[in-house]
Amino acid sequence: MSYSFIEERARRDLHDLSGIGIRVTGSYNTDVQAVKIFSEILDKIKQNASSIYSVEYMEQRPYGSFWLDDDEGSTSVYAKVSPV
């Protein structure tokens, strides 16, 4: 069995994701709505996979820091940016 990229489905998924509005880190749209959309897409892929394929995914809650090389020299820190 062969699987291929389907542009119409990808455009629909992109439209759904874009339709939730601005997605700023830590916002409801990013941390809840976007995660819900991606989870639904991945669940459909998992359901449609044949028995020879195993599809798994997991949500991650990133944390870390990075140096901002600007005039003031500062560090940006983030931790578990999603409230889910």
Task: Return per-residue pLDDT of the chain as tens, 84 residues.
Answer: 456 788 999 999 999 999 999 988 778 898 889 999 999 999 988 888 877 788 888 887 777 777 777 777 777 777 666 544
The reported pLDDT for the residue numbered 62 is 73
Question: Does this model's pTM top 0.75?
Answer: no
Q: For 9-35, give one letter per residue: b (16+ CB within 10 A) or e.
A: eeeeeeeeeeebeeeeeebeebbebbe
The reported pLDDT for the residue numbered 2 is 53
Whole-angstrom CA distances from 52 to 15, 37, 40, 46, 55 are 31, 26, 21, 12, 10
